[in-house]
Structure 1
């Protein structure tokens, strides 16, 4: 079975939160990009970050 493609951490330098435009942090275990400013976690699917607010989950 093939593993899902890995997220390219270099992409993190170019991506910002679509809500606050603040920096994001990468959670490798959960495969998410976290916006601490917006309290949102954006999923990474098949190595591609899904930067849609309606796809994000709220975090504390």
Structure 2
């Protein structure tokens, strides 16, 4: 069964699309995060939920 670790980011309304893209790209490239959910609020702020798989080593006999 897959298990995920989640990270929630809040980007205030003054954040440009280019800056938001750069932030999410850095998390994806260097932290192995992937976009799970993005919520754009009417005031222009964004709530971003990122996820990454948790890999657990299993003992082999």
Higher relative contact order, structure no. (Cα contacts within 8 Å, ≥ 6 residues apart): 2
Q: TM-score, normalised by structure 2?
A: 0.31
Q: Which has the higher strand share?
A: 2
